[in-house]
Chains A and B, each alone.
Chain A
Amino acid sequence: MNRINKVLNKKREILSIYFTAGFPDLSDTTSIIKSLDNCGVDMIEIGLPFSDPLADGPTIQESSTKALKNGMTTKKLFEQLKGLRKETNIPLIIMGYFNPIMQYGVESFCKDCELAGIDGLIIPDLPVEIYNNNYKTIFEKYNLLNMFLITPQTSDKRIRFIDEISSGFIYMVSSFSITGSVNSFKKEQTKYFERINKMNLSSPLIIGFGISNKQTYLDAIKNSNGAIIGSAFIKHLKKYGVGKVSDFINKIRN
């Protein structure tokens, strides 16, 4: 069974952490993964940096720009991940935009993901329909789950469709927002979480975008199977460096 599904089956209150590969330094990728695993994080999203990350806010735009300046490339990331699976069993997801993947070749990319021990992908600008018609069989051939996003504007009908074709979790965008935009959840958001929960979807839900501290994490896991933290973690990395990863996680969890 795919490592993502295993974690989803076993537990709720999942904590997933996003970071940008190659940030703060080019060679930090694997040590960040190992530290996150050591302090009990359940799942990791490795951001493949892109020059024009449309769905991301200033924090991730900045970490991506820095990572690219450091020399991060798709090929480089796969090189860095080589051998990592001997050391960790944590589910690994690559989050990246479609253009770099297209230039690498979708099939070559998926193949190298499997070789590197990647379990799934999140590609915000690859719409569900295009994935379903053109790429689903390739992803499946290499045992990669593809996670889709839903937002407060996604209609019930579309959510049902997404639920049907999802094999991992549904990534529930917390609000009308790009990443990194909010500090606390408002009433409408809680209402939206409740609306989705009432739909009794078969896919687990993980909430992301705007989870920045213990409070928003707790609010999120009340309404879902778990939460993804990105921008807040990147800010922490930028300020305190790779050595202090556990401080951040402990503040969220304890």
Chain B
Amino acid sequence: MTSPIIEFQNVKKQFGELALFENFNFSVEEGEIVSIIGSSGSGKSTLLRILMTLEDIDGGVVRVKGEPLWHMSKGDRLVPADKKHLRKMRNHMGMVFQHFNLFPHMTARRNITEAPMRVKGKSRQEAEREAMDLLALVGLQDKADSYPAQLSGGQKQRVGIARALAMRPEILLLDEITSALDPELVDEVLDVIRNLAKEHSFTMLLVTHEMYFAREISDRVCFFDQGRILEEGPPDKIFVAPEKERTQAFLNAFISA
């Protein structure tokens, strides 16, 4: 077996008085699709945000592709990462946000081309060609010149996905990407992810409340409870025969909802 692409080793994360993660261990294999479920406040977003370098850690080590994310090796010691190291490591990850966070002053196309041009130094021509391919992938070729305010929620989120993909991340982080959408718009977004999942060309870590979707596309499901992974396994086990009482209660609440 190869070494994991993501590895949390004894990670500690604290928000003031709240010790959210303590001795937190977690790993993801390359190409694996992992769904994270659990009630609100259990630390699902924080896990993704630590990986996206939006939240730092208070102890332990996070490794991405074997390299410490929040640290740098100095001799045989690990010292806190500097900005340069973080910028290098960020290239491995891309994130899609619950509230899209599209840049409102840019067209859909510019939202997608801006980072490849400014960050990766691609030519405008190349970046725009790739943007059009990505817009086609998410079914929005005809919206290239629309501003976010002119798009529906589902369309915004598909641009959000295209924008993240444009940076060619190896790890895609999806944080409740359909939670802010009207029910009838959820499927058009999930379809895009479904297609990406089929190819298994990314490692995907997704926080979701869409249980059927999670069951369908995941290799593994993790149930989060108060900053711990209470139970994890293949979707057929977690959704059909969960062992822990809290997992059962959580899933039952979903079915009856």
Q: Do A and B come from one complex?
A: no
